[in-house]
Chains A and B, each alone.
Chain A
């Protein structure tokens, strides 16, 4: 291995870590800004930002990314001053800091692409340099706190201020102690669990590690001092956290004491406080491993072959059984094996899952940028929920959300003047919700209260008839190459990127996309995507003597084909597939013959079962010969151009060693260009 190769490996880790800290810096700066807009301060967020940049600087220096070091260093210096002074950050400074973060992001992204990081522009450096002058050093306030100087010295001024503000606001400032030991850890009591439980009953201002003499009660020679603000009673806190009530002490001193003088002498210790903080931080992060997705893919690959082997085993057992051999014991083992595989699968899938919040965390920054660029007043409402989704799905979803948000702010939401004229609140509303619809699907809505989409104008532009429903409107919006600019100005500007949105959501993720829009009132886009991909629960069926599978998540219903409920539609002239109408609970659903579409030799004219899927909300049925069962299958991609066909999303192995095609019936119906007529029949 050469030195360059080593460095390359290192760069990958650097990128991951840098991106994480950049995300933190962004989020914290926005938190500072929103607090200050409300006339509040958020010193903790300032400190977090400082720490992120400090780490970025260190990492960048290690791998020799000088441009990033240059930017991060300036920001860090500035933030440290403010962190010490506890003064609020001026709003223009926040702006410059966000620009600095953006500058680092661009360079990190360039490194990720394999390009070098460009030196920062003079403009950016000058903006960051000028920050220094704005920094004001305010004297730390008097601290009437009952705390020994060694601990007090480790507190940043803002933390002291926070405690005093809390006391003045009528809260009680307390000091709690927790001494970790193996015995307590066995009971589930670690500094992390204490932190967590404490956070529920009190505001944790700071956690300080403190060396104590080694004793049976403190085998590690270490104890943690938690400084708190709370309205709860000592008893309540002790109970909630599970610590002795006598480890709690009041910090509030009735009489003003000359602590200030002592403070001045402890400044050298201030410098070490950072180090101590890092130590307690390392404690709280213990047990977290960062893993490259490709390694998870490897594990998944291994599991895939296990599942295929299991199918083969099941077949072998069935064959033995047929020959009259007693396979009871084998079958029992198979049942255990199946459960273990399911658990293992779930475990690997869980590792790949990221919280929805991660997907949305960058949206506030995006909206903020758009707000400035477009002079629109926009209020963002985010409802993230607790759902988790596969990393690969999340990565594909993010650009889509960016498209939708940009369109909404850029074009849908009117200027403040125009909104006032229309009797709307001056501030436009952009609302994004994310929630799991079931165990397998995530629903995301992006809603604005802007001008809505002018169907007639979009239709004119596209040279089509005005659609009479939302599904038709979506088809129009997703016409490839539908000119963006004209529509942007004359109507709502929904042309841009919708084609890409649809391709990602529908074609790539096998999800659904819907739009509903009311002129003058606003527009909502609804996206439904699977939470995970690659291993899916699927129905297997037979059609024209060939076996296929279709993901369960895609199937609305499986129905019997009863010839009495069938109506033949007069043959079309365009040579397209025959469409029949089948009545399902009184609703007419168009039905296609899969064997005919695929030109397979069908045993009978009509398949006996039909698989109903929804395309843009409207049902469409595919008749097949017979259903075989339901099982988990591993979907393998079909890569080669020779065998890529619409409606075929991959292949799987059902245990016979031969690939079985995985169908995407929704995409298939789209490729056939069959109008789903049932949308009209529905109420």
Chain B
């Protein structure tokens, strides 16, 4: 059994393993970064780190949504990168039986460009399991360039 954060995006429910999540917080807007990919909503400061926010709707090719009181960002950490995901809502943490994951039908994973790697049926609910590394895109993180202006060392990891 493993813990998952459940969030919704355009009426669909997705699951993200808790150990990839640093924290969740409400979202009131991010600072736009000129030149960043369209699916990057901007940057926010989380625990002193400057973190990019991926708008998952845009990333998944869904129509953009207005900010609501439910809008959340989920701050994730994987492979030394800290990236926040903007989602419509995130309210639940569930224990899921890993053995009951079903591989995503190839039609699904192709349509979702590999973002979804498995599905999990929970009663009548259907949860899509996300592949975080696919969503973050290329991880060619280059620490040599990371801290050009600031004299301090790049800190790839947050203290947990």
A residues bordering B, Cβ < 8 Å? 294, 297, 300-301, 304-305, 352, 390-393, 507-508, 510, 532-534, 546, 597-600, 635-651, 653, 657-662, 664
Contacts and interface: CB of A to CB of B under 8 A. Distances in A.
B146 interface: yes
Instruction: Provide the main secondary structure of the chain A interface.
Output: mixed
Contacts of A637: 50, 146-150, 152, 154
Contact of B149 (A390, A642, A650): A650
A657 B140 CA distance: 29
Nearest to B155: A639
Contacts of A598: 34-35
Interface in B78-114: 81-83
Instruction: Provide the main secondary structure of the chain B interface.
Output: loop
Contact of A645 (B35, B51, B83, B139): B35
Contacts of A507: 148
Given A599-B34, A657-B45, A659-B44, A640 B152 contact: no
B36 interface: yes
B49 interface: yes
23 contacts: A294-B153, A297-B153, A300-B152, A390-B151, A508-B148, A533-B149, A546-B32, A635-B150, A638-B50, A639-B50, A639-B154, A640-B82, A641-B139, A642-B52, A643-B52, A645-B34, A648-B35, A650-B50, A651-B43, A659-B44, A659-B50, A662-B149, A664-B149
A641 B83 CA distance: 10
A662 B52 CA distance: 15
Contacts of A297: 151-153
Contacts of A300: 152
B142 A641 contact: yes
Contacts of B83: 640, 642
B51 A653 contact: no
Contacts of A639: 49-50, 81, 141, 143, 146-147, 154, 156
Contacts of A534: 149-152
A390 B54 CA distance: 36
A645 B152 contact: no
Contacts of A599: 34
B43 A638 contact: yes
B31 interface: yes
B74 to A, nearest CB: 16
Given A546-B32, A658-B44, A636 B148 contact: no
A645 B136 CA distance: 17
Contact of A642 (B31, B44, B137): B137
Given A642-B137, A653-B45, A659-B45, A648 B152 contact: no
A653 B45 CA distance: 8
Given A648-B34, A658-B29, A641 B151 contact: no
Contacts of A508: 148-149
Contact of B34 (A294, A532, A600, A636): A600
A352 B82 CA distance: 29
A510 B148 CA distance: 9
Indicate the member of A508, A546, A641, A649 with the most B CB atoms within 10 Å. Answer: A641
B33 A643 contact: yes
Contacts of A660: 31
Contacts of A659: 31, 43-45, 50
Contacts of A533: 149-151
